[in-house]
Structure 1
């Protein structure tokens, strides 16, 4: 440190703070929001912290200073966190006639309130789905719309609300032999499921929509709200998400079938609810077969991945792709999986 000039001493001081916060954030998936909601909120900043630490490594590398070791070591310790943010390898792409193409998409009410200057969003989404040919489609913030043309699918939807009926839906090209809903108290969010038959296999598909953070993707969250109020609101949301995840897992534990989970968790891969739902026997399709940032939410400040497809150990994950199309504030994701 003695060989650093005054400016670089200040840079290293900031570097030390950011590296320490990132190191502590590695514990966040194991901290229950019910115990410390304030600390859990930090999970939203992990993508930003990773990117800033990478920039510090580059800065010290270009300056030929050993201080690069601080952020580099912290990043290496949390290599799995980096893998959840960015996949350096090429996308896995295994074509197999036995593949099941599973899509997840938060459709944001098919642009009901004209957030996007496009009057044909339901039709555009229909055309997109027809082009990609998924076998299973899981939709959040769904509402019945005459412009959505998916006649070749079986469908299960659960709707609520007074003026505008909306909720979750699952579309399947395979016959649905059972279906149901897991109700979350005091909210319109819930989880639904269907059991579908493909050949000799019965597969349970879950569509999970956890409590929303209610953050507008196009604006600065602090612009219209103080940081104190924002942390309090998000902390309360994380507590609700924890309770909702517990209800979902209680239901899932009773399933005797092979399981695929789709959904909008409204939280990142560094959160307690993601870690809890994923557990030890589910595989994140992006981590197994994706590449790049894999962002699923059109947040303008840094890449955010809050929509997921997971499959249990009965499946091989042969492909994953995010489609950055502008029909919602979320991007659709699709994975191709095969029963082992």
Structure 2
């Protein structure tokens, strides 16, 4: 009976799961090339599920290997097909091309959750002390408005070690803020239609070099808010309520994939017309298996791939499987170090890139 069950039930089921996981993994390779317009806005959901798909492929490859069956090749093909995604999520310093020596410029990007993750007590002071201790020269913040009781001037006072900022004093906060040790020569806000999310650019004078910074907070995924709704329905024991939240979450995700794609294209158009060294950072609200990531990266370097270490998660929820915060840069720079410290003051962790002007040293 046991042998028959294995032969006629367990083995075919395992084989079907293997084919399905391998097919999903291979299909996910094409997700970043599919623009999420209506009718195709379900495609990015596969990219979002890719960590689970690849984990399943790894388990299946191990299972088939233990059973000494050639079916282990199928999930291995799925894993190898996603080498670009895996390299954007997991890095081993042994194989990197980082440069030695002290950095010329240290840049950090941090979604700070309005400086109130721990409750009513503002966390701007904590963040400022942490960034100063890490030697951050240019700090790009998202969700940087502290509210009526803790406005832009109070936040600026906390970051007084970085004397230059955009938007400047007396200007309403729009959610993205840049603080700099170096002078800001020119700057502007990039406003997107029908959303509160923003990007900005700023030309920063670092010694004799002008660097254009792009600080981005692209359309939110809505996952955090929907997770709270799902948790409440689960506590109530309502299967119908949970189903309704999941359906609503899926619809919101699909809409936001398209919105982010258009925002990324807008920023990419500005990057492509810039003729000075560029650094692009921020909370993109999308993973490396996405159209948004591919468009924003373009021909730039992903700092994590050049000088990161370990697993590159930046979002503290969803079991920390997502990397959605980035620092990219043009070939005027090489990375000395790139890391994401685990800090308790937001639902994101910051990313820090220590950079050198390599073109300067080649002269």
Q: TM-score, normalised by structure 2?
A: 0.84
Q: Secondary structure at the match of 1:234?
A: helix
Equivalent position of 2:234 in the other structure = none
Aligned with 2:292 (options 259, 267, 273): 273
Equivalent position of 2:175 in the other structure = 167
Which range moved further: 170-179 or 84-93?
84-93
Cα offsets for 1:186-219 (capped at 9, x unmatched) = 1111111110112221100110111001111893
Q: Map 1:100-249; keep pairs closer than 5 Å.
A: 100-111=105-116, 115-116=117-118, 119=121, 121-143=123-145, 144=152, 146=154, 149-153=158-162, 154-157=164-167, 165-216=173-224, 219=227, 224=242, 225-249=244-268
Q: Is the 8 A contact 1:215 1:221 kept in 2?
A: no
Q: Secondary structure at the match of 1:33?
A: coil
Aligned in 2, Cα 1:145/1:269: closer, same or farther, shift over 3 Å? farther
Shift of 1:107: 0.2
Q: Secondary structure at the match of 1:142?
A: coil
- Equivalent pairs counted in the alignment come to 332
Equivalent position of 1:31 in the other structure = 34
Equivalent position of 2:337 in the other structure = 319
Equivalent position of 2:17 in the other structure = 14
Shift of 1:130: 1.8
**Inter-partner Cα distance in structure 2 for 1:188 and 1:247:** 16
**Inter-partner Cα distance in structure 2 for 1:81 and 1:70:** 18
**Inter-partner Cα distance in structure 2 for 1:4 and 1:100:** 60
Bigger fraction of residues in helix: 2
Cα offsets for 1:218-274 (capped at 9, x unmatched) = 937865544433222111111111111122122222222110001111111110011
Aligned with 1:43 (options 42, 47, 57): 47
Shift of 1:304: 0.2
**Inter-partner Cα distance in structure 2 for 1:249 and 1:218:** 30
Aligned with 2:312 (options 262, 275, 294): 294
Larger Rg: 2
Q: Is the 8 A contact 1:217 1:297 kept in 2?
A: no
Shift of 1:184: 0.5
Equivalent position of 2:323 in the other structure = 305
Q: Is the 8 A contact 2:222 2:249 kept in 1?
A: no
Runs of 4+ more than 6 Å apart: none
Superposed CA RMSD = 2.6
Aligned in 2, Cα 1:176/1:16: closer, same or farther, shift over 3 Å? same
Q: Secondary structure at the match of 2:167?
A: strand
**Inter-partner Cα distance in structure 2 for 1:197 and 1:339:** 13
**Inter-partner Cα distance in structure 2 for 1:337 and 1:63:** 48
Shift of 1:302: 5.0
Q: Secondary structure at the match of 1:206?
A: strand
Aligned in 2, Cα 1:314/1:219: closer, same or farther, shift over 3 Å? same
Q: Secondary structure at the match of 1:134?
A: coil
Q: Is the 8 A contact 1:206 1:260 kept in 2?
A: yes
In structure 2, list runs of 5 or more residues that go unmatched: 146-151, 232-241, 359-363
Cα offsets for 1:37-66 (capped at 9, x unmatched) = 111222211122112211222222333332
Q: Is the 8 A contact 1:184 1:190 kept in 2?
A: yes
**Inter-partner Cα distance in structure 2 for 1:322 and 1:125:** 14
Which range moved further: 20-29 or 67-76?
67-76
**Inter-partner Cα distance in structure 2 for 1:201 and 1:269:** 30
Cα offsets for 1:297-326 (capped at 9, x unmatched) = 012335100000000112112210011111
